[in-house]
Structure 1
Amino acid sequence: MPLSGSRLGPGFVAFALLLAGCQQMERLSFIRPSAQPRGYTQVAPSYDVSGKKGRAESDPVLLLLSANDQLQRGQYAEAERLARQALKLRPDSGDAQTLLGAIASARGDAAAAGKAYRAAVQIAPGNGVYANNYGNWLCANGQAADALPWFERALADPTYPTPVAALVNAGTCAMRAGQPERAESNWRRALELDPQNLTALAGMAALEQERGNGLDARAFVERWLALSPEDPAGLRLAADIEQKLGDNAAASRYLSRLQAISSTSATPPRTQ
């Protein structure tokens, strides 16, 4: 029987913990997603605008580059000032609104972030990056069902550079909306493009486990752990899968690995 939104068991709980930080936000052309806490990484060189203040304060691109640099440094007030200056010069800049959303998100101001991401999609409704970001914000703020069309809009953009991000987000959000079949479709499409996508593998492992398809769940979790062998959520789910399949020896091996990792991480460093 397909999994319903109200019948999530222990396996899915482990998966949900993994997903807490895995939804992918797209930023600007000079920013890419990363595993860093704020979810993005500078990929263009920093611009030295010393001695060029006049140009820097009147060039929207330089302002956004400088604003992004300040955001990376944790200087949120200065980053916002620069981004708003860029927006003043270019009121139709979806990139400026996107950066303002990233700044607000880094500050923990979800409402301001949502307002900025919404403004970006209003400026450029067909832009896949902006659509993915707004959908991701909606999903993270209790509006999962409303978020799903935005991921579809992102995927409809032929210039969208990372469709896997939107597919993974759509799968995660579909589960939150109680639509497991839609989640499966999106995760499988993501894995066709990126067979090593951890979030999609984790999602499929947990989903198949909840459906009672232990062998399929095992196959997905083994692929997950082959890529991330010390992932606690993956080890817990693998142990649960093996227990339900009746292989207690395999379950014990996974639990032993999990215990070893927990013991290592809990041991304080020695001092000389």
Structure 2
Amino acid sequence: MRREFAILAILGSLLLAGCSQLERLTLIRPSAQHRGYTQIAPRYDFSGKHGRDTGDAAMLLAAGSMFFQRGQLDEAEEQARKALKAQPGSGDANTLLGLIADARGDAAGAGLLFRSVADAAPANGVYANNYGAWLCANGRAAESLDWFDRAMADPAYPTPVRALANAGDCARKAGQPVRAEASWRAALALDATHPQALAGMAAMAFAQGEYLEARAFVERWLAVAPDEPAALQLAMQVEEKRGDNVAASRYRSRLQAISPGPTTAPRTQ
């Protein structure tokens, strides 16, 4: 069975611009590739002169994805629906419609679309990860874990580290710290610099009062994302707990240089 095509995209600490309810979990967006998975979408002319009425689902989906990234949701939806007409049942077109629904605040509608896509292609890890991320972001963290397991069971899934990091975050939310730590550590075994897993481990160690371990993880996090406010806040609080006010002050200064104003204690995760 031919795989649907997909593009991986993470926007800072959020999944999608303007979709705060999705938090930092990793979703996967559609691309214009005809098979396999890619991290880079091809270049197309999105001026409206080409690729909008050709019946080429890949071109239409690429245009829709670009419109979505620009925040032009009506135009994105138009292209996604044309792609569905050109390729009925396209999982990626329905995924894009789910992202659009979520960006408009229709979390329930987005969930129905993500679930329908995952059900239609039960062996596809991309779609399983997406639905798991939606479940976790919408108060169903424990239920999401099975979907991340499904994603990791897909031998063609290109980035199991993302599903593992998601599983760690969601296991923590579900009150399963042992599984959370195991998932984050497994993610770091695949990618020692994965910021989502480093953040999870740092916050967990801090919450458990393991400040030296928290310090080690937050320093690794900052090595990857030196201007990440959440990392700087956590580093500042770790040093305060350790009694190193000089180090805490340095982190506070770095944080204020990014976001002038009073700093607050970091929210543990």
TM exceeding 0.5? yes
- The C-alpha deviation readout for 1:21-79, integer Å capped at 9, x for no partner, is 42111122438xxxxxxxxx87112157847776x1x3333332333233234332232
Shift of 1:259: 3.5
Query: What are the ranges of 5 or more consecutive residues in structure 1 without an aligned counterpart?
Result: 1-17, 32-40, 266-272
| Alignment partner of 1:164 is 2:166 | no
Cross-structure match for 1:10 = none
Answer whether contact 2:31 2:58 (CA < 8 A) is retained: no
**Structure 2 regions of 5+ residues with no counterpart?**
1-12, 15-19, 34-38, 263-269
The answer as to 2:224 corresponding to 1:222 is no
Q: How many residues align?
A: 238
After the TM superposition, which residues 185-196 of structure 1 pair with which residues of structure 2 at under 5 Å, given as runs?
Answer: 185-196=182-193
Tell me the secondary structure at the aligned position of residue 260 of structure 2. helix
- CA separation of 1:73 and 1:262: change in aligned 2, threshold 3 A: closer
2:30–2:65 Cα contact (<8 Å) kept:
no
* Structure 2 equivalent of residue 106 of structure 1: 103
Aligned position for 1:256: 253
Q: Which letter maps to 2:32?
A: F
Query: RCO (CA 8 Å, sep 6+): is it higher in 1 or 2?
Result: 1
| 1:199 alignment partner in structure 2 | 196
RMSD over aligned CA atoms reads: 2.7
- Percent of aligned pairs with the same amino acid: 56
Distance of aligned partners of 1:62 and 1:30 in 2 relative to their CA distance in 1, 3 Å threshold:
closer
Question: Residue in 2 aligned with 1:3?
Answer: none
Residue aligning to 1:68: 65
Which stretch shifts more, 238-247 or 195-204? Answer: 238-247
| Change in 2 beyond 3 A, CA 1:63/1:226 | closer
* 2:136 is the counterpart of 1:139: yes
Structure 1 residues 248 and 30 mapped into 2: Cα distance closer, same or farther (>3 Å)? same
CA distance in 1, matches of 2:223, 2:140: 34
In 2, Cα distance between equivalents of 1:53 and 1:256: 50
SS in 2 for 1:158: coil
Task: Decide whether aligned partners of structure 1 residues 189 and 52 sit closer, same or farther in structure 2, where only a CA change above 3 A counts.
Answer: closer
2:152 is aligned with 1:150: no
- Partner of residue 30 from structure 1, selected from 32, 35, 42: 32
Secondary structure, aligned partner of 1:150: helix
Q: Is the 8 A contact 2:52 2:60 kept in 1?
A: no
Could you tell me which amino acid in structure 1 is paired with residue 151 of structure 2? A
How far 1:254 sits from its partner (Å)? Answer: 2.4
CA-to-aligned-CA distance 1:222-268 (integer Å, 9 cap, x gap): 11122223332222212222222233332233233333443399xxx
Give the TM-score, by structure 2 length. Answer: 0.78
CA displacement, residues 53-106 of structure 1 (integer Å, 9 cap, x when unaligned): 76x1x3333332333233234332232233223324433321221111122122
Partners in 1 of 2:50 and 2:161 — Cα distance?
42
- Partner Cα separation in structure 2 for residue 247 and residue 128 of structure 1: 45
Could you say which structure has the higher helix fraction?
Answer: 1
Q: Which residue of 2 aligns with 1:83?
A: 80
